[in-house]
Amino acid sequence: MNVLDSDLSRLDKVKLANACNQALQQRYKKECTLEFSRDRKSMSCYCIPSSMGMVTGGNKMFVKGAPEGILDRCTKARVGTETVPLTQAAKAVILKKIQDYGTGFVFVAQAENVPVHI
């Protein structure tokens, strides 16, 4: 999956493994981190577009953690370039796919246009 539309064709395996992280660091500046919480079962980073990244859109909150905990808090999903409601049926399909992949899966979600006051 190449959601950032980066040129990955010339990267060796080591650079390919870190390509997403580098692309995000070029596009966004991390303002703060909400550390892992057992209640939320996740950690989050609040980011703003960097001047060098030429990102359209606003602030973003990147959330990493247990899939079921994150999906419970999501109301929408991006499908291609569209944002659609995230139904219970869609959540069940996502959780089934994660189960098919096996254990140890970490889910990452993104909230868009997050207000500056946290």
In a domain, 118, yes or no: no
Q: Please check whether residue 67 lies inside any domain of the structure.
A: yes
The answer to whether residue 75 sits within a structural domain is yes
Answer with the residue of higher pLDDT: 16 or 73. Answer: 73
Counted domains in the chain? 1
pLDDT-based confidence at residue 32 (cuts at 50, 70, 90): very high
Higher pLDDT, 108 or 43: 43
| Per-residue confidence (pLDDT) for residue 87, from 0 to 100 | 92
Output the pLDDT for position 20. 78
User: Looking at residue 89, what is its pLDDT?
Assistant: 92
pLDDT at 107: 62
Tell me the pLDDT tens digit for each residue of 82-118. Answer: 888 999 998 998 888 888 777 665 666 666 666 655 4
Mean pLDDT of the chain: 79
Domain interval for residue 82: 13-112
Give the tokens for residue 81. 């370039």
What pLDDT, in 10s, does the model give residues 67-82? 888 888 889 888 877 8
52 CB-near residues (< 8 Å, 6+ apart): 26
CATH number for the domain spanning 84: value is 3.40.1110.10
Residue 6 lies in a domain: no
Note whether residue 5 is domain-resident. no
DSSP labels for 10-48?
A: T--HHHHHHHHHHHHHHHEEEEEEEEEETTTTEEEEEEE
User: Residues 29-36: what's their mean pLDDT?
Assistant: 90
Arithmetic mean of pLDDT, 7-26: 81
Reading the block at residue 65, the tokens are 């953690």
